Structure 1
Amino acid sequence: MTDFLLELRCEEIPARMQAGARADLEKLFRKEMGAAGVVLGQVTVWSTPRRLALIANGLAETTEAVSEETKGPATTAPQQALEGFLRKTGLTKDQLEVRDLKGKDTYFAVIEKPGRAVRDVLAEAIPAIVRAFPWPKSQRWGAASISTESLRWVRPLSGIVAILGEDLVECEVGGIRSGYATKGHRFHAPGDITIGGADDYAAKLSACHVIVDHAERQELIRDEARNAAAAAGLTLVEDEGLVIENAGLTEWPVPLLGRFDEAFLEVPPEVIQLTARVNQKYFVCENAAGKLANAFVCTANIDAVDGGEGIVAGNRKVLAARLSDARFFWEQDKKTALSVHAEKLGRITFHERLGTVADKVERVAKLARWLVEEGIVKGADADQAELAARLCKADLVTEMVGEFPELQGLMGGYYARAEGLPDAVADAIRDHYKPVGQGDEVPTAPVTVAVSLADKLDTLAGFFSIEERPTGSKDPFALRRAALAIIRLILENKLRVNLENVIVEAGFRQPFARQIDPTIAANRTFAQLSRFMRMGADAAVQFYQVARKGADTAAVEQAQKNTEKLYNFSAQILDFFADRLKVQQREAGVRHDLIDAVFALGGEDNLVRLLARVHALQAFVATEDGANLLAGYKRAANILRKEDWKADAIEPTGDEDPLENVDDPDMMHVYAVAREAREQLSHEPEPAEKALIDALDAAEPRAADAVAAEDFAAAMSALAMLRAPIDAFFDEVTVNDADSGKRYSRLALLARFRVAVHNVADFSRIEG
């Protein structure tokens, strides 16, 4: 067994491409070796700015013999098919095997391939790997580049080292032949270095100021950057992305601390950090008080003879120029009020069918005020919520955000505070984009919650109204993220929100809804809208004609169509929320079938209440009582299904709850059926029947009261009362009795049991 070393050397590889390149090199190498029958052990891949290196340990000297089988035509196929197969395989008819395949005799070609020298396999594989390499961007170079068939690489390829054990693997790619020689550090060791093999590769490069292991360079940067800051009495602001990027820019990293003019600290700290990070790849530091210090840590690529003083001085000069620009933007932007900046938003198109950013801001401002005035977001000042919403996008037209788009929102908060606006308004402008991702913090300040919620609701309603919805893996407008953010805002702030109402409210403000009569829109409620939409198009037109006192039919029909559109896409958004909630809760460890069991009840769009019910259900089904009750439910449901019991005669219809009171007509029918059946009996109900009836009489009102009080644990406890009686019922009572009266009565009793359980959750959706 022996080790193999491959190094592909070139000009500087962009840092952002190196991780992908390492993965691609290993994938291509394994593919080529697997196809040739080479058994691989450990494979290690490293990268520096000037090279990709791969070491494969424990390769055999020869490959194992392999047998390749190729299926051919059936023996009954035309002669031309057989002749084509023979030409393809290079065999004669006598060399083919005949096998039974699904009852049909079929020719098979079996070709035995002897083992090969692994060095020969590698010599063929290396050019294939280089030519197939999937760089995100690549180039051709030299005289050969006039041909589109010439070699492409991320930067001009300059050398190949390929050594198996101590032997050279001879190969050639684009005029570059493999050899033993590589290059060390560009300045410290620019000459050739002869590599003996995989064993001495890393050590020889390290002696020539090249740390070939990217992970080792990253660890060195982390430690030395912290040490440089600590030596100055400061704390490094950790930035793992910057660690990886600096490791991808250097072969011999040397972190150095420098200082910049303290006057620049007048600029917001995020601006300084972003300027240092994005433009110069520098770390920043904090002082003992946790405030940004006038210090930075840069990463040199050499051991300078002056200890790095010249490098630091040069970097300080470049950073000062960048910070001067940032300070200029900061001071210029502050000279104009945010309200004046906001006037320019009319020049920016949000979406061609949804208007400008100014149009969006207008919708968000009105929706934010409505959320506060309706008491959905409590503790917020409606005027402040509207003001914050009107100014929340104003920083998009500032010089600073034009230079650093990452600072949108954040800079608006700084400008608002500098302008003297209330802190609640400034905070809402700063944080209204949150939460952006799964790990982002969720705003809790009432004004911020109102603006953030309004902004995301408007986005969802707008794009759904123009049928720009996520499909499969495509979500160009980040609507899934917006829905998850709304869910998190509602749940973490415990907002008692009727989602249907707020979605319709957001929908009424979209461009298409302008043709809905404003008089009707001003007096709308979702309940009214739902009722006349469910009555059908004719009833909706009539509704409009009455409301508009005889307006022309064409205008009324157009208004009706837009209202129908509003109703339809609102229902689609609700389904979208349901899907997102299921995904979120599954990731949080909540069983998907339990979420389905509560969603299946319908009419529940208060997320706080819905999840409280789901969590109580999950706790209940994990108990012995819950598991046994579920088994009893499924048994009852199976019997009713086999008997073709008409569910619509005993289960909820419409929007009413049949267990709300004893006067409900549906439940009265259930009880009447049971009483009528019992009256036909020649004797009183059996003890187990009577026990189940008594248990239902006690459990139904308790469960209904608990659900109404949103005490879902108590509702589950009430259901637990049914566990023993239903078990006993099945043990002691024959449901399908020969006596039709008894049979009908007992089926009605099981139906009543099923309804009682459904009042808490749809147990038919629960697995197990």
Structure 2
Amino acid sequence: MPDLLIELFSEEIPARMQTRAVEDLKKRITDGLVEAGLTYASAAALTTPRRLTLAVEGLLAESPTIREERKGPKVGAPDKAIEGFLRGAGLTRDQLEERDTPKGAVYFAQIEKPGRPAAAIVAEVLEATIRNFPWPKSMRWGSGPMRWVRPLHSILCILTDEAGAQVVPLEVEGITSGDTTEGHRFMAPNRFAVTSFEDYAAKLKRAFVVLSPEERAEHIWNDAQNMAFAAGLEVVDDKGLLAEVAGLVEWPVVLMGQIDEEFLELPPEVLQTSMKEHQKFFSVKNPKTGRIERFITVANRETADNGATILAGNQKVLSARLADAKFFWENDLRIVKSDGFEPWVERLNTVTFHAKLGSQGERVERIAALAHELAPAVGATPALAMMAAQACKADLSSEMVFEFPELQGLMGRYYAEAAELPPEVGQASEEHYSPLGPSDDVPTAPVSVAVALADKLDTLTGFWVIDEKPTGSKDPFALRRAALGVIRLTLENDIRVSLLDFASIQIERHSEQHAERKKQEASLSGGVNVLGAGLVLAKIGGRDVVRPAPELLEFFHDRLKVFLRDEGIRHDIIDACIAMEGNDDLNLLVKRARALNAVIATEDGENLVQGFKRANNILTQAEEKDGVEYSYGADVKFAETDSEKALFAALDAAQAQIDPALKAEDFPTAMAAMAALRGPVDAFFEDVQVNTDNDILRRNRLNLLSQIRSVCSSVADLTKIEG
């Protein structure tokens, strides 16, 4: 069985595209080979900045011969039908076989597709892959129609077996396949021939090319750590930057440089961001002070002066970059120390948040008002929460955040400290964007929590007002992330709030601001209707209040199901709890769902659900048949059997436990009391016929079933439980 080696050699491929490109190459080639009948033992794909490489081991030497029997038209069918069948089968009429079937004589064709050599199949598959490669961005060069991410220079394609290596003949837009490649662009630019993957990898390394991205990354990280350790420093971990830098070099040479003393007092995050974004440098910090004092850069070649010239050039460029950052920092500090945040907050009024939702300044007003109202629920001082919310977006007006948007929030903390604002204000500025993802830390400081909740609820209600909701996989305004943030903030801080109440409050603010903007735009004097598709009118306290349509709460519940799925809580269990009163209190809802999940996992709980469903089905059918509701009047004096009397007693005992437990929100106790009904309910159904001929007994027993339904339904809606 031969081995296949493919290399597509080009100008430098952007680092961000390399991983996906080599995966696409592997998938398209191997899928094409298998589809053509060529199976293989294993396949490995590797990449450097200038080459995509695929090595396939244990490939079949040729595809197997395929024999197929195909049923055709009836004997005597129109000539056109028979001729069409012959064309599809690639046969002549004298090659057809007539057979008798229950439906009469029918033509059958025996089709044989002979196997093809691996080289022919590989050539077809590789050419199709190159011509239709799914680059995110591609370019044309020269006069041909060929498109590639960067100009493609050569194609290496060989099959190797015991007899040696043979080139798979192939030509794509004037580029002919061969068995040669190039080494490092500067250190070993001459072409050389290879005979196998092992020979290819070994010769590339001698030509100063490390083929494996993982090996390059490991080499960079080890050398960087060793250099930093020797200087009593440590490298700031950044796996994303490491992967990117490993995609920029074929022969990594790690160098450590100095940062000019005048820049060392800049916030470490500013230094780190500037060096990472502009120069692709690793930051090296002093573990004792936390200051960024040096940088690590990775060259793509060895030099006679051991990188001194490279370092000098990099340090010169870095100094120019950091001089800009220092100017921004000092200018921002001058403003906040003299005027505080007021100029920046005022400037937010001229920055559009969304065309239909007004400016960032209007948004800050809404967030501050909501944070003030949320503060008591999260244990924060209302005035402090409002102050923090008013300042939380101020750094968006700073020059530093304009240059480095990823530092928003963090710079707010630094500037709040410089303006001598309360520490809670700076902390909230930094933390209120969190959590940004499922693994991100959740703020726990009360003021930060109040501002973070207000920020996310304002975003959700705002886009609900203008009917911009997520659809399918599209979520351009990250509303799913905002909803998950509200869920995590609420649960992990044990917060009890009514989402509908606070959402209604914020929707009214959106509506009022929207109406005011419309008045100003159209010079209106009357009221403006801003009720969107995501809103409804409700009467609260005798007045009309704009409330979110049910879809907003359903949106939260859907996100909650995804969140709780990792805990092993099924969606139907959550649905059983959502059906209960207070389902807009996420903390209450989750406590109920966790308790129900624990009960359903037991044998008593599972069997009780089945008993409840049986009781509910019998009762529902009887009520539909009789046209009455059996919800009152069950009397123990009409009980005939011991199991019937025992069920009366068990229901009374359960109700006596469940009612105070639910009032105290002690759901485990309430669920346990409900699960204890399993035995009496099972015994009742074993001994008693509900639909007896005696009307008095039948009515009494149906009312008893209604009592079962009532007691269980006070804990959760068990009709939602599947199975």
TM > 0.5 between the two? Answer: yes
Q: Please say which of residues 577-586 and 623-632 is displaced more in the overlay.
A: 623-632
- AA at the equivalent of 1:753: I
- CA drift of 1:107 comes to 7.2
Superposition map of 1:566-577 within 5 A: 566-567=546-547, 569-577=548-556
Matched, 1:356 2:359: yes
The one-character-per-residue Cα deviations of 1:622-663 (angstroms, maximum 9, x if unpaired) are 22322232232122223224434589976xxxxxxxxxxxxx
- CA drift of 1:63 comes to 1.4
Matched, 1:756 2:717: no
Which of 699, 703, 709 is residue 658 of structure 2 equivalent to?
Answer: 703
Distance 2:466 2:105 in 1: 58
Q: Which runs of 5+ in 2 are unaligned?
A: 517-526, 528-535
Superposition map of 1:246-645 within 5 A: 246-289=245-288, 291-336=290-335, 337-372=340-375, 375-378=376-379, 380-511=380-511, 532=539, 563=545, 566-567=546-547, 569-644=548-623
- CA drift of 1:222 comes to 1.8
- Matched with 1:537 is none
- AA at the equivalent of 1:159: S
Distance 1:412 1:260 in 2: 25
Contact 1:598/1:610 (8 A) holds in 2: yes
Which of 677, 680, 703 is residue 725 of structure 1 equivalent to?
Answer: 680
| 1:71/1:387 CA distance change after superposition, 3 Å | farther
- AA at the equivalent of 2:631: V
- CA drift of 1:267 comes to 1.3
Distance 1:105 1:134 in 2: 50
- Matched with 2:154 is 159
- AA at the equivalent of 2:560: L
- AA at the equivalent of 1:116: R
Contact 2:357/2:514 (8 A) holds in 1: no
Distance 2:461 2:29 in 1: 49
Distance 1:223 1:251 in 2: 16
- AA at the equivalent of 2:470: P
- CA drift of 1:290 comes to 5.6
Distance 1:411 1:506 in 2: 28
Contact 2:674/2:712 (8 A) holds in 1: yes
- CA drift of 1:310 comes to 2.2
Distance 2:500 2:508 in 1: 12
Distance 1:514 1:155 in 2: 49
- Matched with 2:644 is 689
Give 3-state SS (helix, strand or coil) of 1:613's partner.
helix
Contact 2:577/2:593 (8 A) holds in 1: yes
Give 3-state SS (helix, strand or coil) of 1:17's partner.
helix
Distance 1:381 1:441 in 2: 23
Distance 2:648 2:14 in 1: 76
Matched, 1:216 2:215: yes
| 1:110/1:758 CA distance change after superposition, 3 Å | farther
- CA drift of 1:292 comes to 2.6
Contact 2:358/2:514 (8 A) holds in 1: no
Q: Please say which of residues 96-105 and 429-438 is displaced more in the overlay.
A: 96-105
| 1:139/1:532 CA distance change after superposition, 3 Å | closer
Give 3-state SS (helix, strand or coil) of 2:439's partner.
coil
Contact 1:507/1:513 (8 A) holds in 2: no
- AA at the equivalent of 1:370: E
Q: How many residues align?
A: 697
Contact 2:268/2:292 (8 A) holds in 1: no
Distance 2:333 2:404 in 1: 16
Give 3-state SS (helix, strand or coil) of 2:594's partner.
helix
- Matched with 2:195 is 196
Contact 1:377/1:446 (8 A) holds in 2: yes
Superposition map of 1:672-683 within 5 A: 672=633, 674-675=634-635
Contact 1:504/1:570 (8 A) holds in 2: no
- CA drift of 1:503 comes to 0.9
- Matched with 1:125 is 125
| 1:494/1:416 CA distance change after superposition, 3 Å | same
- Matched with 1:526 is none
- CA drift of 1:305 comes to 2.2
- CA drift of 1:91 comes to 3.2
| 1:453/1:217 CA distance change after superposition, 3 Å | same
| 1:126/1:750 CA distance change after superposition, 3 Å | same
Give 3-state SS (helix, strand or coil) of 2:112's partner.
strand
| 1:759/1:141 CA distance change after superposition, 3 Å | same
- CA drift of 1:710 comes to 0.8
- AA at the equivalent of 1:532: K
Contact 2:582/2:589 (8 A) holds in 1: no
- CA drift of 1:161 comes to 1.1
Distance 1:234 1:312 in 2: 19
- CA drift of 1:87 comes to 4.0
Distance 2:718 2:100 in 1: 50
Give 3-state SS (helix, strand or coil) of 1:59's partner.
coil
Q: What is the TM-score of this pair, normalised by structure 2?
A: 0.91
Distance 1:608 1:96 in 2: 74
| 1:68/1:419 CA distance change after superposition, 3 Å | farther
Contact 1:139/1:153 (8 A) holds in 2: yes
The one-character-per-residue Cα deviations of 1:169-208 (angstroms, maximum 9, x if unpaired) are 1211111111222111112111112212223110110011
- Matched with 1:670 is 631
| 1:465/1:156 CA distance change after superposition, 3 Å | same
- CA drift of 1:93 comes to 4.6
- Percent identity of equivalent pairs: 49
- AA at the equivalent of 1:368: A
- Matched with 1:180 is 179
| 1:104/1:302 CA distance change after superposition, 3 Å | farther
Give 3-state SS (helix, strand or coil) of 1:456's partner.
helix
- CA drift of 1:694 comes to 1.1
Contact 2:7/2:157 (8 A) holds in 1: yes
Give 3-state SS (helix, strand or coil) of 1:317's partner.
helix
Q: Which runs of 5+ in 1 are unaligned?
A: 521-528, 534-539, 545-559, 651-668
Give 3-state SS (helix, strand or coil) of 2:378's partner.
coil
Distance 1:693 1:76 in 2: 80
Distance 1:737 1:731 in 2: 14
| 1:262/1:103 CA distance change after superposition, 3 Å | farther
- AA at the equivalent of 1:345: L
- CA drift of 1:487 comes to 0.8
Contact 2:255/2:298 (8 A) holds in 1: yes
- AA at the equivalent of 1:161: L
Contact 2:582/2:588 (8 A) holds in 1: no
Give 3-state SS (helix, strand or coil) of 1:56's partner.
strand
| 1:106/1:222 CA distance change after superposition, 3 Å | farther
Contact 1:37/1:66 (8 A) holds in 2: no
Contact 1:500/1:570 (8 A) holds in 2: no
Give 3-state SS (helix, strand or coil) of 2:187's partner.
coil
Q: Please say which of residues 639-648 and 398-407 is displaced more in the overlay.
A: 639-648
The one-character-per-residue Cα deviations of 1:336-384 (angstroms, maximum 9, x if unpaired) are 2322012111222111111111111111111111222xx2221x22222
- CA drift of 1:96 comes to 5.5
Give 3-state SS (helix, strand or coil) of 1:27's partner.
helix
The one-character-per-residue Cα deviations of 1:485-518 (angstroms, maximum 9, x if unpaired) are 01111111111101111111111111367669xx
- CA drift of 1:315 comes to 1.6
Distance 1:98 1:469 in 2: 63
Distance 1:649 1:708 in 2: 31
- Matched with 1:557 is none
- AA at the equivalent of 1:162: C
